[in-house]
Amino acid sequence: MKFFCSSLAILALLPSAFAAFGVTTSGSNMVVDSGAGLVTTSGLKIHTTSEETELAHPPVNTANGDITSMLFNGKQLQDSSKFTQLSSGLGSASVTSSVANNIAKITISTSTITHYYIVQSGVNTLYIGTFASAEPTVGELRFIARLSKASLPKGVVASEINGGTAIEGTDVFLLNGQTRSKFYSSIPFIRDQVHGVTGSGVGVFMVIPGVSYETSSGGPFFRDIDNQGSAQQELYFYMNSGHEAAELPFRTGFFGPYAMAVTTGAAPSANLNTTFMDSLGLQGYVPASGRGTVTGTYSGTLAGTAVTIGFKNSAAQYWIAGSGGSFSRTLIKPGTYTVILYQGELEAGTGSVTVAAGKTTTVTLVSSLSVPSVIWRIGTVDGSPVGFLNADKIETMHPSDTRMSSWGPITFTVGTSAASSFPMAQFKAVNNPTTIKWTATSAQIGARTLRIRTTEAFAGGRPQITVNSFTSAAPAAPPSIDSRGVTRGTWRGLNQVYDFVIPTGTLTASTNTIQINTISGSAGDGFLSPNFVYDSVELF
Residues 360 and 445 in one domain: no
Q: What is the CATH number of the domain that holds 486?
A: 2.60.120.260
Distance CA 379, CA 391 (A): 12
pLDDT band at 5 (very low <50, low <70, confident <90, very high): very low
Which residue, of 366, 398, 420, is where some domain finishes? Answer: 366
pLDDT tens per residue across span 299-315: 999 999 999 999 999 99
**Quick one: 302 and 174 in the same domain?**
no
Q: Are 258 and 306 in a shared domain?
A: no
Q: In sequence order, what are the beta bridge partners of 98? A: 105
- What was the pLDDT predicted at 138? 80
Residue 7 in domain: no
Say whether pLDDT at 35 is over 80: no
C-beta of residue 208 within 8 angstroms of C-beta of residue 237:
yes
Answer yes or no: is pLDDT of 186 > 90.
Answer: yes
Average pLDDT, rounded, for the chain: 90
Number of independent structural domains in the chain: 3
Residue 487 lies in a domain: yes
pLDDT of residue 123: 82
Q: Does residue 508 have a pLDDT over 60? A: yes
Question: Which CATH number do you get for residue 145?
Answer: 2.70.98.10
Q: Are residues 129 and 58 in the same domain?
A: yes
Query: pLDDT at position 15, please?
Result: 32
Which of 204, 236, 267 delimits the end of a domain?
267
Domain match, 296 and 202 both: no
Is residue 491 a contact partner of residue 485, using CB atoms and an 8 Å limit?
A: yes
Q: Quote the percentage of the chain above a pLDDT of 70.
A: 89
Same-domain pairing of 391 and 358: no
Asked whether residue 1 is domain-assigned, the answer is no
Let me know if residue 491 belongs to a domain.
yes
| pLDDT at residue 523 greater than cutoff 60 | yes
Reported as a pLDDT band with limits 50, 70 and 90, residue 124 is confident
**Structural domain for 487, as ranges:** 376-539
- Amino acid type, 296: G
308 CB-near residues (< 8 Å, 6+ apart): 190, 220, 319, 320, 321, 322, 342, 345
Letter string b/e over residues 248-266, b meaning 16 or more CB atoms within 10 A of that residue's CB = eebbbbbbbbbbbbbbeee
Residue 4 is assigned to a structural domain of this protein? no
Identify whether residues 324 and 382 lie together within a single domain: no
Q: Name the band, by pLDDT with cuts 50, 70 and 90, for residue 36.
A: very low
Of the pLDDT bands very low, low, confident and very high (cuts 50, 70, 90), residue 402 is very high
Instruction: Give residue 11's pLDDT band: very low, low, confident or very high (50, 70, 90).
Output: very low
Spatial CA neighbour of 220 closest among 191, 261, 256? 191
Dmax (CA) for the chain in angstroms is: 89
Considering the domain architecture, whether residues 234 and 295 belong to the same structural domain is answered as no
Flag whether 251 is in a domain: yes
d(CA 446, CA 231): 63
Q: What is the CATH number of the domain that holds 324?
A: 2.60.40.1120
**Residue 250 and residue 117 share a domain:** yes
Does residue 428 lie in a domain region?
A: yes
The pLDDT, as a whole number, for residue 21 is 63
Residues 48-55: contacts with CB under 8 Å, at least 24 apart: 52/7, 52/9, 52/26, 55/9
Q: How large is the average pLDDT for residues 201-208?
A: 98
Distance from chain centroid for Cα 123: 27
Res 143 pLDDT > 80: yes
Give the pLDDT score at 31: 66
Q: Which helix (H) or strand (E) holds 125?
A: strand 125-132
Any idea how long the chain is? Answer: 540
Same domain for 224 and 147, yes or no, is: yes
Model confidence at 34: pLDDT above 60: no
Q: pLDDT tens digits, residue range 270-280? A: 999 999 999 99
pTM score: 0.90
Residues 165 and 306 occupy one common structural domain: no
305 contacts 348 by C-beta, under 8 angstroms: no
Q: HEC profile for 455-495? A: EEEECCCEEEEEECCEECCCCCCCCCCCCCCHHHCCCCCCC
Is residue 12 a part of any domain in this protein? no
Q: Is 187 exposed, middle or buried (0-12, 13-18, 19+ CB in 10 A)?
A: middle
Task: Inform me whether the pLDDT recorded for 8 exceeds 60.
Answer: no
Q: How high is the pLDDT of residue 20? A: 59
Indicate if 513 and 400 belong to the same structural domain.
yes
Last residue of a domain, one of 267, 300, 321: 267
Q: How confident is the model at residue 71 (pLDDT cuts 50, 70, 90)?
A: confident
Q: Which band of pLDDT confidence, cut at 50, 70 and 90, is reported for residue 33?
A: low
Write out pLDDT tens, residues 57-68: 335 577 899 998
